[in-house]
Structure 1
Amino acid sequence: MKKDTKIVHAGRDKKWTGQAVNPPVYHASTILFDTVKDLKFALKNFKNKIMFYGRRGTPTHFAFRDAMTELEGGHDCLVYPSGIAAVSAALLSFLRSGDHLLMVDTCYGPTRAFCNKMLKKMGIETTYYDPMIGDGIKDLIKDNTKVIFTESPGSITMEIQDIPAISKVAKKNDIILMIDNTYGNLVNFNPYDHGVDLSIQAATKYIVGHSDAMLGTITCTEKLWPQLQDYSYYMGQTAAPDDINLAMRGIRTIKTRIKQHENSALKVAKWLETRDEVDLILHPAFKDCPGHEIWKRDFNGSNGLFSFTLKQGSEKEISTFLDTLNLFKMGFSWGGFESLAMSFYDLKAERDLPLWDDYGPLIRLHIGLEDADDLIADLEKAFDAIK
C-alpha cells in the first residue's frame, strides 16, 4: 500500500477496534481474570499485547503501537509520557556505568541536560560531536563506546547528518545507532531505510499535531526490542490512554498537515531570503543550510520548522520584533497547528563546538496552518518595528 493509505488504516485491526472505526479509549489499572487458567496464561504472555495490567498496555496502546511500527518501521513500538522520557528510556536501556556515548552537538536541549546531569552522575561519559562529521565519527570511537545518538536536522540550527555513513561505522563497531526522528515524523524520513537501530519521536509535536498532549515513542529493531521493553517497564514508563487517543487521531491527518506546513514554510522562508535584514536561512531545502545535499538524497520533504539569522540586532531590537508579532506566538515546542517564533538561544553556551560564533541573532520559526501571506504580513510588520 502507498503511505497515504497506510496512514488511514494502520493500527485498525478489529481485535483493537471491534466494530468501531477507532479503538476505544480504555481507562484501566487492574485487569481482572475469571479463572486461574486465565491468570496463568496472562503471566506467561503479558509481553505479547494482551491485557495484563494497565501499565503493560490496553487495546488503546496496542493499536497505536501497531500503527507507529507499520508507519515508521522497526519491530515494535513503546509509548512514553513525553519525548524526553523516550530519550532517557532509550539511553538508560542500553548504557551503564563505564560506557561511552557519542552525542550529536546539535541535540535537543533537554537531551543535553540529561547527558550532563544524569548520565554523568551514573558514570557514563558523553562526547559531543560535529553533526557534519559523517564517517569521520570513526575517529571518536573508544573501546567502551556503546551508543551513537543522532538528531537530523539538528535542533535550532538544522544541520542534516549523513545517517547512512554513520550507520556503516556503527555496524562495523557493533555500536547501537539511535536517532531523534521528531522532525522526520512519519512522513519526512524513514530511519530504518538508512541503517538506524532505534528511533525516538516526541509525538507531542507533529503526530499529536494540536499542542494538547504530551507523548513520546520508541521503535527499534527486533534485536534491541526485548531489552528496551524490559528496561522501560522497570523504569515505570507508560502513557495515558487519552493522550494516545489524541495521537492516534493525529496520525490520520499527518500527511495532509505536513504538506501544508511544508508549503507555507517554503513560501515564508523564500520571502525572508529577500529581506536585507536576513543573513542566513537555515532550512534543509535551502542550499546554504548545512547538509542540504544529504537532505535531498535522504528525506521525503520538509515541514514547518526552520531558523534564520539576522545580520545584526540588539537584544532590545529582537524583543521588539517578537513583541510586535501577532499571529506568531512565543512558546516552547512546535508541530501544532499554530505558528511560533522563538529567539535568545545562547548557542555558544549550549554547544561544545564553536560552530556558530560568526553569525548574528537567530530566530526559529514554526509555520503553522495559517495562510502564508498573513504570516508574511505579520513578519513584515515586525521588521518595520525595528527599523
Structure 2
Amino acid sequence: MSSSNHKTSARAISTEQIHHAYRAPEGWDAIPVGVHKASTVLFKNTADLHTPRARDGLCYRYGLHGTPTSYTLAARIASLEGGTHCLLVPSGLAAVTLVSMALLRPGDEVLVPDNVYGQNRYLTESWLPQFGITHKLYDPMDAAGFKALLSDKTKLVWLEAAGSITLEFPDLQGLIAACQARGILTALDNTWGAGIAFQPFDLGIDISMQALTKYPSGGADVLMGSVCTRERPQLHERLNHAHEHLGYGLGQNDVELVLRGLPSLELRYRAQDATTRVLATWMAGRPEVARVLHPALPGSPGHEHWAELSPEGAACLFSAVFKPEYGAAQVDAFVDALQLFGIGYSWAGPMSLAVPYDMRRSRKLPMPFEAGTLVRFAIGLEAEADLRADLEQAFVSAFPSPR
C-alpha cells in the first residue's frame, strides 16, 4: 500500500506504528465487515471517559464487552432468530451456562429433557447443585408427564428440537404453552433449527440459544455461541448483567469467520438437509439397521410434530440404531471402515462425521426405540452418491453376512 501523504517522522518506529496518521477515506465501505480488535477502547477526553457510552444498548467502554465487529454479528444473529437482542459467548456450552447462571437462584428448580445436550445435562446434574439449584429430567415426548412435573419451584425449562443424538421432535408448542400457563421461563437450544427450520420466538419461547460453532460458522474452525431474546428488555438485562460479570469475550477474528459464514448459511442448510434425507431413507432399508431416527422420516419419534412445525427444515443429522445382535465392537468396525466420514464431535461443517454411542449410558428414562448401539451421522457437503458408496463399502467390510 502506498500513501500520498507519507512524510518522514522524527518519532521512533514503534511510536509511529502506534500513532500512524493514515486513516481510511470517509465513507469507505466494502462487503466484508471490518475487523475491530480491542482490549482498550480509547476515549476522546476525561469527560467522555466519565460519560456512559451505551449506544442502542451496546457498551463501547472495553473490548471485553464488544467491538463494532462483534456487535454487527450479534445484530445479524438476532435477525436470523427473529429476536431483538443477542449476546455472543465463546461456545455453545457457554451460552447454556450463561442462561442457567443468569436466571437460576438457590432454591430454584430447572427441568431438562432426558435427551438434552450432554454438557447441559452435566451442568445441571453436577454443577448447579453446588448453588442450591435442583433439577428434574422429563420425557420430551410425554406432554402429560411434563405438566405434572411443573411446580412453583420451577423457574426455567430447557427445550431441544430435535433432541441431541436421538433426534426426537417434541410438541414444542404444547410444552411452551404449559410453561406459559405457570409463568415459567423457557429456553430453547435452537442449534439444530439454526433460525432456518422455524422461528423460535413465533412459538412463544423466551430465550433461544445456538452453538454458532455449527451452521452459522459452517467451517468446523471456530467455537462460539449466542443467546437471543425478543421484546423482553428486563430479561435481556438479566442475561447481559451475567454476561458482563462472567467475563465472556470473543476473538474478533473468530467473529469475522462467523460473519463470513452467514451469507451461505441457508444454502448450506438446505443442501445438507437434502442429502441427509436421501441417505437416512436409504439407511432405513439396510438389513443391519433396526431403526433410523430423523424427524422427516415417518415413524421417527415426533415426526408428526416436525411435519406440523418445520417440514421445510430438517438439518444434517440422522442416527441409525443397529439391530441388537450386532455388538458395539462390530458397529465400531463399521465406523472405522468409513473413508469419507470423519470420526469426531460437532456437525454442520463441510466434512461428514460418524460417532457411535451406547445410549444406555447416557439416558435415564425409557427410550421410544430399541436399545441397540447407535451411530449418529452428520452429513457434510460431499456428493450424496459418494457418501452412499462409502457407507455401502463399510457395511460390506463390517457386516459380511447380514442377517
Give the TM-score normalised by the residue count of structure 1. Answer: 0.92
1:79-94, aligned counterparts within 5 Å?
A: 79-94=88-103
Do the aligned partners of 1:75 and 1:225 also contact (CA within 8 Å) in 2? no
Do the aligned partners of 2:54 and 2:60 also contact (CA within 8 Å) in 1? no
- What is the distance in 1 between the residues matched to 2:247 and 2:231? 22
Q: 2:274 aligns with which of 263, 281, 284?
A: 263
1:353-379 CA-to-partner distances (Å, cap 9, x unmatched) read 021673321110011110111101101
- What is the distance in 1 between the residues matched to 2:358 and 2:322? 15
Deviates more, 1:21-30 or 1:310-319: 310-319
Q: 2:126 aligns with which of 117, 120, 127?
A: 117
1:113 deviates by 0.7
Give the match for residue 304 of structure 2: 293
Aligned residue identity for 1:313: Y
Give the match for residue 381 of structure 1: 393
Task: Give the aligned length.
Answer: 369
Give the match for residue 98 of structure 1: 107
Aligned residue identity for 1:225: H
- What is the distance in 2 between the residues matched to 1:27 and 1:319? 45
1:233-312, aligned counterparts within 5 Å?
A: 233-299=244-310, 300-311=312-323, 312=325
Shift in CA distance, 338/322, structure 1 to aligned 2, threshold 3 Å? same
1:51 deviates by 2.2
Aligned residue identity for 1:72: E
- What is the distance in 1 between the residues matched to 2:269 and 2:366? 33
Q: 2:49 aligns with which of 35, 39, 43?
A: 39
Give the match for residue 231 of structure 2: 222
Do the aligned partners of 2:53 and 2:59 also contact (CA within 8 Å) in 1? no
**Unpaired segments of 5 or more residues in structure 1?**
1-16
Deviates more, 1:134-143 or 1:365-374: 134-143
Deviates more, 1:369-378 or 1:47-56: 47-56
Give the match for residue 346 of structure 2: 333
Give the match for residue 14 of structure 2: none
For the pair 1:183 / 2:185, whether they are aligned, the reply is no
For the pair 1:342 / 2:355, whether they are aligned, the reply is yes
1:135 deviates by 5.6
Q: 1:367 aligns with which of 372, 379, 382?
A: 379
Aligned residue identity for 1:325: L
- Radius of gyration: which is bigger? 2
1:34 deviates by 1.4
Aligned residue identity for 2:43: F
- What is the distance in 2 between the residues matched to 1:231 and 1:57? 15
- What is the distance in 2 between the residues matched to 1:148 and 1:215? 23
- What is the distance in 2 between the residues matched to 1:342 and 1:71? 29
Aligned residue identity for 1:164: Q
SS in 1 for 2:64: helix
1:131-165 CA-to-partner distances (Å, cap 9, x unmatched) read 11236422111221100110110001100011111
Do the aligned partners of 1:282 and 1:306 also contact (CA within 8 Å) in 2? yes
- What is the distance in 1 between the residues matched to 2:178 and 2:226? 26
Give the match for residue 11 of structure 1: none
Give the match for residue 158 of structure 1: 167
- What is the distance in 2 between the residues matched to 1:171 and 1:370? 43
1:214 deviates by 0.3
Aligned residue identity for 2:284: E
- What is the distance in 2 between the residues matched to 1:94 and 1:318? 42
1:301-325 CA-to-partner distances (Å, cap 9, x unmatched) read 1121110111131222112111111
1:46 deviates by 6.6
Give the match for residue 12 of structure 1: none
Do the aligned partners of 1:281 and 1:288 also contact (CA within 8 Å) in 2? no
Do the aligned partners of 1:262 and 1:302 also contact (CA within 8 Å) in 2? yes
- What is the distance in 1 between the residues matched to 2:118 and 2:308? 27
Aligned residue identity for 1:327: L
The RMSD of aligned alpha carbons is: 1.5
Aligned residue identity for 1:239: L
SS in 1 for 2:278: helix
**Unpaired segments of 5 or more residues in structure 2?**
1-26
Give the match for residue 20 of structure 1: 30
Give the match for residue 3 of structure 1: none
Shift in CA distance, 348/315, structure 1 to aligned 2, threshold 3 Å? closer
1:182-201, aligned counterparts within 5 Å?
A: 182-201=191-210
Give the match for residue 8 of structure 1: none
- What is the distance in 2 between the residues matched to 1:177 and 1:216? 18
1:18 deviates by 5.5
1:177-212 CA-to-partner distances (Å, cap 9, x unmatched) read 100000000211211011110001000011100100
- What is the distance in 1 between the residues matched to 2:369 and 2:361? 11
Aligned residue identity for 2:350: F
Identity of aligned residues (%): 37
Aligned residue identity for 2:345: F
1:288 deviates by 1.3
- What is the distance in 2 between the residues matched to 1:271 and 1:307? 12
- What is the distance in 2 between the residues matched to 1:45 and 1:72? 24
Shift in CA distance, 19/340, structure 1 to aligned 2, threshold 3 Å? same
Do the aligned partners of 2:360 and 2:371 also contact (CA within 8 Å) in 1? no
